[in-house]
Amino acid sequence: MLEQQPDSCQSRAGGASMSGISGKVVAITGAGSGIGEATAVRLAARGASVVLGARRTDRLTALAGRIRDAGGHAEAVPTDVTRLEDLRGLVAAALDRFGRLDVLVGNAGIARTAPVADLDVEGWDAMIDVNVRGVLHGIAAALPVFREQGRGHLVTVVSTSGLKITPTQAVYAGTKNAVRTLLEALRQESTDGVLRTTSISPGFVKTGLADHINDPTTREQIRQRMRTLGLEPDAVARAVAFAVEQPDDVEIGDITLRPTRQD
C-alpha cells in the first residue's frame, strides 16, 4: 500500500488556501523514468492525484498501474513537450479526471554535450525544443487554468549546469539558464498571490539523461559519474515534495541539491 502522510487543507479570508500534498492534483512531464517517475511515486504516496506525461506510453501505463495497485490515483497521458497541443491535453486530462490542476512539474529534459566547435546544430535544436520550448508550452497550457482557479504552482527541474559553467555543456547550460531567467521574470510578474514558481537544480542524479549524448566516450564517462556519484532520483522527488507541501502564501523559489562529493 502507498503510505499516507498527514497533510492538511486550510481556509483563510479571501479564498481557500491549500497546504500539504494530500488531495492536490499534480501533472508531471518526463514521468516515464528517473526524477519524474520518482516524483510521481512519492507524491501519490502522500495522497496526490498524479497525471503522468511522457512519450514512452508503455512506461507511463506501467507506472500508472503500479500507483493504482498501491491505492493511489494516477492517469497516464502520452505527452511530447515539444508539442503545445500535447501539454494542453495533459492539463485537460487533469481537469477532466480530477476537476482541477494544482501543480505542474516540468521535468522533461535532454542533454547533448559537446564542444560548440563540433557544430551539433541538430542537438542544439533538440535541447532548445525540449528544455526551453517544452517549459514554455507547459506554462502556456497551465497558466490560464491557474489564473481561473486563483491558485497554481509551477515546479520546474533545471540543473546545476549553468550555475557552474563547464566545457562541452555550453548549449545545455544555456537552455537551463534561459529557463531559470524565464521563471524569475514570471515570478516577478505574478506577485498577486495566484502563482508560485519553484526552480529545482539537481547535480548528478542516477537517471537516463546521458542516453541522449551522441559521443560514446562522453556518454560512458557521464554514466560512470552518475553511477559513482549520483543521487537517487527520490532525492529530487523529496525536494519537489518540500516545495509543493508549503502553504499557498509560501513560495520556495530555488532549491539546489547535489551529491556531497560533486565538485
Instruction: Give residue 16's pLDDT.
Output: 44
104 occurs within a structural domain = yes
Instruction: Give residue 77's pLDDT.
Output: 98
263 occurs within a structural domain = no
11 occurs within a structural domain = no
Distance of CA 70 to the CA centre of its chain: 23
Residue 136: partners with Cβ closer than 8 Å, 6 or more residues away: 182
Q: Select from 98, 100, 91, 57 the least CA-distant residue to 74.
A: 98
The pTM of the full predicted model, rounded to 2 decimals, is 0.88
Residue where the block lists cell 481561473: 148
Instruction: Give residue 12's pLDDT.
Output: 31
C-alpha cell at position 162: 549553468
Residue 144, φ and ψ in degrees, nearest 5: -60, -35
- Please write the tens of the pLDDT for every residue from 25-41: 999 999 999 999 999 99
Question: At residue 10, does pLDDT exceed 60?
Answer: no
Question: At residue 132, does pLDDT exceed 70?
Answer: yes
- Domain extent at residue 119: 19-257
Catalytic pick from 98, 124, 146, 172?
Answer: 172
- Residue 52: helix, strand or coil by DSSP? strand
Contact 196, 248 (CB under 8 A): yes
DSSP annotation string for 82-132: T-HHHHHHHHHHHHHHHS---EEEE---------GGG--HHHHHHHIIIII
CATH number at residue 175: 3.40.50.720
200 occurs within a structural domain = yes
Instruction: Give residue 224's pLDDT.
Output: 73
122 occurs within a structural domain = yes
Does residue 172 have an active-site annotation? yes
Question: At residue 102, does pLDDT exceed 60?
Answer: yes
Pick 230 or 76 by higher pLDDT: 76
Whole-number Å distance between alpha carbons of 180 and 47: 29
Instruction: Give residue 152's pLDDT.
Output: 98
Question: At residue 252, does pLDDT exceed 50?
Answer: yes
Of all residues in the chain, the percent with pLDDT exceeding 90 is 77
pLDDT grade for 13, boundaries at 50, 70 and 90:
very low
9 occurs within a structural domain = no
Whole-number Å distance between alpha carbons of 86 and 257: 30
Residue 203, φ and ψ in degrees, nearest 5: -85, -140
Helices (H), the chain: 34-45, 57-69, 84-98, 121-127, 134-149, 170-189, 216-229, 233-244
Please compute the mean of the pLDDT values over residues 101-110 and round it to a whole number.
Answer: 97
Count how many domains the chain has: 1
Question: At residue 134, does pLDDT exceed 80?
Answer: yes
2 occurs within a structural domain = no
34 occurs within a structural domain = yes
Instruction: Give residue 11's pLDDT.
Output: 33
- Please write the tens of the pLDDT for every residue from 55-89: 999 999 999 999 999 999 999 999 999 999 999 99
The angle, 0 to 180 degrees and rounded to 10, between the axes of the packed helices 134-149 and 84-98 is 30
